[in-house]
Structure 1
């Protein structure tokens, strides 16, 4: 019997969780009835005992029923929290299932990323709706998402950074419980993503005022003096001199009181810190296994005196102390005895300074783990994908290479072989035969490989490369660019990249070169451009409809021809999307026109 696929495993798990939620909901309803019944029974029994003048029995009844009621209420609350956790856990698994099935409507969509001028982001569908980022982004903070985006868009990385990243991704791929609980802890702390910029802004808010330490010392001395003089007055040792020191103490207090602003700021700081601290504390607990990649990535979080959980507890204690401002009478009484607000204002200021110093390290480590976790989840959800192998020789070789954004049931795979600088594969083929998708397949898998993720292939060996694409180019009314001029500027940028020496070679992917101009000038320009590419620091593919360009293999030894083609069956075009060697032997533009009812000489309705 074949082992279940990842989708089937997730379906079974979701069904099981749903059963637990259903059972828990029924039990919760039962607890609600028990609580109501206990309340009514206790009320009736207690009143009955009191009316019968059995006060002792009434007191025992009230205490007994209240104790049982609170025990049942505690268990009920615990059950409700568990149901809530199960609901969040189920939603995480549902999103995983949606990712495996490319069910875009059930994959959460984050704010769009602006990458219009990027050399390959838009061409390869790395960002935007229904993109690679949309598919793999499971981060819980804005810094984590930015780190993941940088891994996809800033390529290639340094070899040392990639090695560390790759080891971490592989380790986390085998720890699905850790990855999903990381998301769960963040969701339990709040629905909004963790925002480091917002926390940094809160930390920049000034707390206290000039000469705070001196004022605290003065108020402490005045409070102590008032207490001593007050005791002396009570014992009739001295007259009521305490009133003078207390009056001065009260005057300074009212001059320095920050009102509700201090409480609001402390609550805001605690709220932001609690969410970040919850996630970091979870990572702390699971990163203590010596020798693991996770422990190495979190080393700066585990040093004594710098652990985020310690700072969260300090901030919580300061908030709880300051929160007596919410109770005016208690607040006034406590501050009449000692400079309570000033003590904890100073403590809060020191906490902010310490957190501000540590925050960049915390956010950096969290972002690294989140981005690696997102790629690890992608690997876990696609067990058939392989981890690519880097090579020192310029080029790219892959077998059964497929597009990860195309469902497995309709995905067609192909072979790729590019060896050495100057290598060019000229792709010809009919309209809709798969040329553009093939170029994107190569590019998106290269970006996955260099980000540290697995790729959709049976074999993938590549050298560090700088992707550069001209596949999806748009005109710009704002910038005054026609489609052709925008295409020329993009091609010029690619050519300039191939002129850079002492850096990784360019992997160029150019679709339908110079398609924005007439046939004669396109042929002249394309020949000159492809010849120039063959002498630069790069390798790649160029697709075209101009079959006249296929004879360039006689002038450029490093150029080879390959093609996609179609078949005609029952008056309709059919495509197998398979790459074949050599120039394309067929064309189909006129046939497509005829099939759509346009007047085309030589093509009748049945031809």
Structure 2
């Protein structure tokens, strides 16, 4: 895959270089046409051949316009190639996890209201630099990035027997995974917008703006009065010019001008509104054109999603609105604006027409934006699955294949996975593990030395559960998941601003975990707890940890807990697992494999000794 993407980027570089040469040639031709036309026309005029001169001017103008049109097409192809080259290089960076070559992450946690108290977002590195969202997100609109964020934050009720949100998203992602050409076309169309503007398109801003632009009460009556006065002005000017009436038009025009100017508040923002609408619609048209023309034969999920776009013709509707906005932009020319408004109430007329068109667009736009942002979110997950053919789509409880694959009862097994790895680790560096988590009361206690992989394994389980519920493929060779809620306690930290110590912050987090575990409604809880009560002394840590572990065993959930307290391994009812290490050439080495039973070794003193501490 990396070699193929590298060859594609090199090929596109060559094509782009040839297009740049052609663009340079068109520039020289345009300059030559202008010089030749001016020189030839000047010679013809000096020879008293004005007819020939005007023919030369007209012919040169027509040829120049044709050349300009072809030059613009070449320039558009250059922009498309620039986008394609960037996309290929980003794809390569995503495969190898070269974070410095990826675009800056889009801030979605803030707009989505994600706080440190969220059940799992902060602990699993879902958002921000070098995060799951940063690696997966290929959306070129803010709406698409936020939609992907919403999917990653799904609370879990959507995992059901073939009918939940996760299953519906997975169908969409499966269909998109095998459509790289369509995803490429959509990305290029959206990327053209990003080159024109230095920020991603945000459909919510356009929707909010349209919602505020409504026709004020009484404006239609005012427009009718002014239109009648304008017609009366024209009639009286005509009759006066023919000598049939005195200059009565002065009175009607005075009334027309007074009424028009006194109501300028209804149209004074016309140019700004028209300009804003024109550029916002330019964002949407290339993307909607791709979506409404592409035929998703044999892909029912995509057909259903894009049906609102393909039943109508959004791009034509936007083209009509763009022409209306362009016509309203005559305020750029003060002279033309004055002439038009003397003849008819031009500004007020187009203010009303723009407001009416905006009302129609405000009704239709949400369905169009929903299709686009859903495609971008699903396309981000599909692109990751396409880049990683070793990844698999998880089966959810109730799927026949999942039930038949193991002898275990799927109703009592919360999670099963073979070769489970962390998606943020490159495949060539990733160490994978087989793992199964039973039903309510199953608590896996993981012991092991420092740096052996305990915390990473918790995040591995959590991130893959999040991806499964989002509809994505997962970093495993097989995975089965039943409906569950997710709660983590991994990155607990103190807060100087709130005057909260690390230990108290951990206590509050575990209190929230037990509250979630005691809920009688909803699916069971899958919990992940890292190094329980590490912020207090040994004696109290052991007593507190034992009490918490017993509460976890009695609750409506199952999960994993890591600890350095080897005394806890003797508690009844726990499933002990461990990570181990060994000394190799005077250095600590880890295999990052999950082993059965409690950890037989420790390494704290060895690490201290290797670093020269007096132990």
- Give the TM-score normalised by structure 1: 0.91
Superposition pairs of residues 207-218 of structure 1, within 5 angstroms: 209-218=216-225
Q: Are 1:477 and 2:496 counterparts?
A: yes
Asked if residue 297 in structure 1 is aligned to residue 312 in structure 2, the reply is: no
Residue 463 (1) aligns with residue 500 (2): no
- Measured in 2, the distance between the counterparts of 1:54 and 1:249 equals 49
| Equivalences for residues 243-254 of structure 1 within 5 A | 243-254=250-261
In the alignment, which residue of structure 1 is the partner of 2:370? 364
Q: Which moved more, 1:88-97 or 1:62-71?
A: 62-71
Which residue is equivalent to 2:128? 128
What is the deviation of 1:269? 2.4
Moved more, 25-34 or 395-404: 25-34
Map 1:531-546 → 2, pairs under 5 A: 531-546=550-565
> What are the ranges of 5 or more consecutive residues in structure 1 without an aligned counterpart?
1-5, 601-607
* 3-state SS, counterpart of residue 397 of structure 1: strand
Are residues 1:591 and 2:606 paired?
yes
2:582 equivalent to 1:576 = no
Aligned position for 1:183:
187
Is 1:93 the counterpart of 2:88? The answer is yes
Structure 2 contact 139–376 (Cα < 8 Å) conserved: yes
State the partner residue of 2:406. none
Cα distance per residue 1:514-536 (max 9 Å; x no partner): 11111122122212211221111
Aligned mates of 2:367, 2:22 — CA distance in 1: 45
- 2: CA distance between counterparts of 1:157 and 1:30? 60
- Aligned partners of 1:287 and 1:298 also within 8 Å: no
**Which residue is equivalent to 1:163?**
167
**What is the match of residue 439 of structure 2?**
420
Per mean C-alpha deviation after superposition, the further-off stretch among 290-299 and 77-86 is: 290-299
Output the aligned Cα RMSD.
Answer: 2.4
Larger deviation: 310-319 or 567-576? Answer: 310-319
Report the Cα offset of residue 188 of structure 1. Answer: 1.5
Number of corresponding residues: 589
Which sections of structure 2, spanning at least 5 residues, go unmatched? 399-410
Contact 1:470 1:510 in 2 (8 A): yes
Give the aligned partner of residue 222 of structure 1.
229
1:297·1:365 contact (CA, 8 Å) conserved in 2? yes
Shift in alpha-carbon separation, 1:54–1:221, aligned structure 2, 3 A: closer
Please give the TM-score of this superposition, normalised by the length of structure 2. 0.90
SS of residue paired to 1:298: helix
Q: Is the 8 A contact 1:311 1:351 kept in 2?
A: no
Match of residue 338, structure 2, among 332, 338, 346:
332
1:49/1:57 contact within 8 Å kept: yes
1:80 aligns with one of 75, 79, 100: 75
Q: How many Å apart are 1:255 and its aligned residue?
A: 2.2
Q: Corresponding residue for 2:102?
A: 107
Any residues of structure 2 matched to 1:30-429 within 5 Å, and which?
30-48=25-43, 50-51=45-46, 61-112=56-107, 113=109, 114-158=114-158, 159=160, 160-189=164-193, 190-206=197-213, 209-258=216-265, 260-286=268-294, 292-304=300-312, 308-392=314-398, 393=411, 394-429=413-448
Shift in Å, 1:291:
5.9
Q: Using a 3 Å threshold, how does the CA distance of structure 1 residues 268 and 592 change in structure 2: closer, same or farther?
A: same
Q: CA deviation at 1:561?
A: 1.3
* 1:53 Cα offset (Å): 5.6
CA contact (8 A) 2:578 2:598 kept: yes
**Pair 1:437 & 2:441 matched:** no
CA distance in 2, matches of 1:245, 1:134: 65
What is the CA–CA distance in structure 2 between the aligned matches of 1:206 and 1:374, rounded to whole Å? 34
Could you list the per-position Cα deviations for residues 127-179 of structure 1 after superposition, in whole angstroms to 9, with x for gaps in the alignment? 12101011111223333222211211122042322222111111111122222
Relative to structure 1, is the Cα distance of residues 182 and 234 closer, same or farther in structure 2, using a 3 angstrom cutoff? same
Cα gap change, 1:36/1:144 in structure 2, threshold over 3 Å: closer, same or farther? Answer: closer
Residue aligned with 2:416, SS: strand
Give the Cα separation in 1 of the matches to 2:444 and 2:115.
28
Cα distance between partner residues in 2 of 1:368 and 1:533: 37
2:464 counterpart SS class: helix
